[in-house]
Structure 1
Amino acid sequence: MTNEHIGSTVPRRQLGRRLRDLREGARLTVTQVVTALEWSKPRLWRYETGQVPIHPNDVEAMCRLYGADTELTNALKTLARETKSKGWWHAYSDIPEWFELFLGMEAAASRIRQYEAEVIPGLVQAASYAQAATVRCITREPTPEILERGTAVRMQRQQILTRRAPTAPDLEIFLSEAALLRGFTAEIMIDQLTCLLTLSERPNISIRVVPLAAGPHRAFHGSFVILDFPEETPVRGPEPTTVYSEHPTGALYLDKPSEVKTYARIWADLGSVALDQPRSYQLIQQKAKEWSW
């Protein structure tokens, strides 16, 4: 997988977990480490959680303190060099840091499962819908430049669905019927629903609608994304399945087994109430016709 595809997100998270595991294996507390290295606690926390790149010299200092052997130290220093890689989204300076992290994870995923209750997901938005949605998302004056950049980011994200190397991820979407009804202009919605019909014919994309008639279900807490990752190398191992939940001022990244298991149950419940793909396709067709009336 190229650096342009994932940036530094996955290497940072992988390196941070390995360093945390080494620290815990050495039975050293955060206080003991920052005292020995003369660092601050926030600095160590940012390293171990993959929030920032790590210089190889810092990795070497940590490995020396933790008693890691030369082979492992060199491997982690090599991984540290990857944490400075930049993905395509770094060209857009106004993307929040918490969303940059998601873009890197989304680009690295082999399977993406998403539930949306109110809007069409960004990965399957038509350009006209994406621009209209961008207006609703930004809090400052929507200048033409801001709208153009916001729309461009959404469109560029979609390139992962048709890429050949690495293999395009499988995208599975449960979409509330409300998102088909709550739209913008008729022209935009017809364009968007037509786009959904086209994309749903791709072998790696599944779009299923949760009808309003289905009644209550376990996803009443709101929208979320479940990201699964391939095993990149035997040395580094796979990135753990992560649940992403976005909010207006930030996002949650959940990867504890108990958290992932909870969302897996919610996903299974959605599957029990959603229409199958053929009936979902028919419903989207029907809604597109209704928007044209």
Structure 2
Amino acid sequence: MTDPVPPSVRERRLARELREARVGAQLTGDRAARELGWSASKVSRIETGRIGVNAADLDRLLALYAVPERHAEFLRRLAPAARARGWWDAYAESLSPGYAGLLRLEAGSRALRTYCAVVPHALLMTPHYIRRVITATWQVPPPAEVERRVRVCLRRQAVLGDGRTGADAALAFTAVLDEAVLRRALGPADDPIAEPARVEQLRHLMTVSRWPAVSLRVLPFSAGIPPVSAGSFSLLESRATGAPDVVYLENKTRISFVDGEKEVDRYVRDVGMLLSMALSEDDSVGFLDEIASGRR
């Protein structure tokens, strides 16, 4: 049995807003539960973010608390962004709480901006590159587990849409790719598959860069030292608020989330500086092509 997924920053915000609305209406949790015909524990779990709240229940809470319509509309937008449901629920028994939470956050986001320092972001990887990342460890998973992780990662990439998906229907994705990402070999020189797989990945990046919702920028070595020395990070922007609200740091063993307002703001500034240092979109595609063709 998997551990319960901890509430995300968005779930905690919705929970806090509903708790404050109840207190503002001068109702106790027990009184609110009686008025709605619920158990007191249901109100408590909603207010602690342990469970989500569906649209019908949310409307009942908003009516009971007499929440002004403008704020009520904001909370209605926040609710689906807080606890999005989707294909990953079918993998609930095999996903870690952190990874499941990440998938929900991405699905509930309007935009993602990322800095890739070592490898491409998971949303940009080819199947072969994903397998190489999974197996680049002293404890290689069994083949069936490797393929399960590949399938999950490829399903995750659906948030970007494809070349035919309109920009407004997909996650707005901006990536700054360090030149080291583009030049890193996928295996030793005598591995006959490593170099073709690297070139395939570069060509895939060039293809994805033409998708309406995707912007790829290369940070060349010549740009100097980036403002971030601790590695890759990703910044998510909420659909409900239209503002960045959570940063995640993803590696093989765990996913860390940063949601303090001041800390998130530092990453927002870092992204801005990285974009100012990176090549333009057109120059980045040319850079990718030159590396893939062996001309650079």
Once superposed, which parts of structure 1, at least 4 consecutive aligned residues long, lie more than 6 Å away? 8-11, 74-77, 79-85
Separation (CA, whole Å) in 2 of partners of 1:146 and 1:282:
37
Residue 218 of structure 2: aligned partner: 209
Q: Contact 1:9–1:104 (CA<8 Å) still a contact in 2? A: no
Q: Contact 1:176–1:210 (CA<8 Å) still a contact in 2? A: yes
Q: Deviations over 1:120-153 (max 9, x none)?
A: 111111111112112237x854112111111111
Q: Report how far residue 18 of structure 1 moved.
A: 1.8
Give the AA of the match of 2:268. Answer: A
The answer to whether 1:173 aligns with 2:175 is yes
Q: Contact 1:161–1:169 (CA<8 Å) still a contact in 2? A: yes
Paired-residue identity, %: 30
**Kindly tell me: are residues 272 and 157 of structure 1, through their superposed partners in 2, closer, same or farther at Cα, counting changes over 3 Å?**
same
Give the AA of the match of 1:261. Answer: D
Residue 269 of structure 2: aligned partner: 265
Separation (CA, whole Å) in 2 of partners of 1:11 and 1:219:
25
Residue 254 of structure 1: aligned partner: 259
Give the AA of the match of 2:224. Answer: G
The answer to whether 1:229 aligns with 2:229 is no
Q: Deviations over 1:132-189 (max 9, x none)?
A: 112237x854112111111111111111211569711211000111111123110210
The answer to whether 1:198 aligns with 2:200 is no
Give the AA of the match of 1:250. Answer: I
- Which sections of structure 1, spanning at least 5 residues, go unmatched? 1-7, 29-36, 232-236
Between stretches 210-219 and 245-254, larger displacement belongs to 245-254
TM-score w.r.t. the length of structure 1 is 0.72
**Kindly tell me: are residues 230 and 86 of structure 1, through their superposed partners in 2, closer, same or farther at Cα, counting changes over 3 Å?**
closer
TM-score w.r.t. the length of structure 2 is 0.71
Q: Report how far residue 204 of structure 1 moved.
A: 1.6
Query: For the aligned residues, what is the CA RMSD?
Result: 4.3
Q: Contact 2:114–2:174 (CA<8 Å) still a contact in 1? A: yes
Separation (CA, whole Å) in 1 of partners of 2:225 and 2:84:
44
Q: Report how far residue 118 of structure 1 moved.
A: 0.1
**Kindly tell me: are residues 173 and 24 of structure 1, through their superposed partners in 2, closer, same or farther at Cα, counting changes over 3 Å?**
farther
Q: Report how far residue 26 of structure 1 moved.
A: 8.2
Separation (CA, whole Å) in 2 of partners of 1:263 and 1:11:
18
Residue 32 of structure 2: aligned partner: none
Q: Contact 2:246–2:257 (CA<8 Å) still a contact in 1? A: no
Separation (CA, whole Å) in 2 of partners of 1:165 and 1:218:
29
How many equivalent pairs are there? 264
Residue 142 of structure 1: aligned partner: 141
